[in-house]
Amino acid sequence: MDNQKIVISCDSTCDLSPELLQKYDIKVMPLYVVMNDKTFKDGVDIQPDEIYKYRKETGRLPKTAAANMNDFYNFFKQYTDEGHSVIHINISSDMSITHNNARNAAEQLENVYVVDSKNLSTGSGLLVLKAAELRSEGHGAKEIYDHLNELKQRVDASFIVDTLEYLHLGGRCSAVAMLGANLLKLKPCIEVKNGVMGVGKKYRGNLKNVLLEYTQHRLADANNIETDRIFITHSGIDQEIINAVEGKIRELIDFKEILVTRAGCTISAHCGPNTLGVLFVRKSPVV
């Protein structure tokens, strides 16, 4: 089966911009956001700023929900019916039932390869873009699938949260941890390792200075970093800070491509505004 008949798809948590999705011809399965008893499709009929407005006005967070097995079955089937193979990349199975739903749907069809990214946001987005590049180079579906399962072990994904409030309300951070961080005015680095989120280094100071120090730390081991591309992914933050982080990256490592993307509703609902991360690929597995 030739590479032109391979469809690359992902769920909406990959946080790739509309421009990137179009450029690389990537299909997206949106997750759901439930707000005011109404269900919206992430990135389709709701945007992150609406979540922040809802939080401010009601004091509550919207709920996020996975795409179900039937959603995935119909999504994949439209392509397999046309004779295409599908490679689909999901948010970590440890963070959402999305992956299991996609895998169960794929088992009912032929030539659908579902990848557990063991990551979130543009951590999985890095895999998606690599899949599209391998497709354009003429690699087959199984070959791409195998490559992604090796590559995912080398993705370095982390981010600085300005407030733990959203993680706490979403059940991903205890009240005690939030209180301690607030009292000490700490900004923790949330790291993704082996598919789960954990707290890494804690920083103190104003957000811009923290993010510059964080970027310096993440990129310190330059010899172990692939220089093809790096993402600056944020959940809505001052452009001056984005520019400063980009400048720091350029000062440290000569990446071929620095991509700036804004996180979608699912990620933003858990992290809150003013979150920013640098995400890239290492030469050896992240431990």
The side-by-side arrangement of strands in the sheet containing 63-65 is 38-41, 32-35, 63-65
Which pLDDT value is given to residue 178? Answer: 47
Structure tokens at 31: 């997750």
- Give the residue numbers spanning the domain of 10: 3-153
Shared domain for 203 and 63, answered yes or no, is no
Rounded Cα gap, residues 89 and 193, in angstroms: 17
Structure tokens at 27: 């299909």
Which pLDDT value is given to residue 198? Answer: 83
The answer for residues whose C-beta is within 8 angstroms of residue 37's C-beta and 6 or more apart is none
Rounded Cα gap, residues 6 and 42, in angstroms: 25
Cβ distance 174 to 168 under 8 Å? yes
Helix 122-136 crosses helix 141-151 at what angle (to 10 degrees)? 150
Which pLDDT value is given to residue 179? Answer: 46
Query: Which SS3 state, helix, strand or coil, does residue 225 take?
Result: strand
Shared domain for 19 and 146, answered yes or no, is yes
Shared domain for 100 and 231, answered yes or no, is no
Task: Count the domains in the chain.
Answer: 2
Shared domain for 257 and 160, answered yes or no, is yes
Which pLDDT value is given to residue 124? Answer: 98
CA angle 109, 14, 237 (to 5 degrees): 165
Side chain identity at residue 239, one-letter code:
Q
Last residue of a domain, one of 105, 122, 153: 153
Q: Along the 287 residues of the chain, how does pLDDT read in single tens digits?
A: 455 599 999 999 999 999 999 999 999 999 999 998 899 999 999 999 999 899 889 988 888 899 999 999 999 999 999 999 999 999 999 999 999 999 999 999 999 999 999 999 999 999 999 999 999 999 999 999 999 999 999 999 999 988 766 555 555 555 445 444 554 567 889 899 999 888 889 898 899 999 999 999 999 999 999 999 999 999 999 999 999 999 999 999 999 999 999 999 988 988 889 999 999 999 999 98
Shared domain for 9 and 138, answered yes or no, is yes
Which pLDDT value is given to residue 170? Answer: 53
Which pLDDT value is given to residue 66? Answer: 94
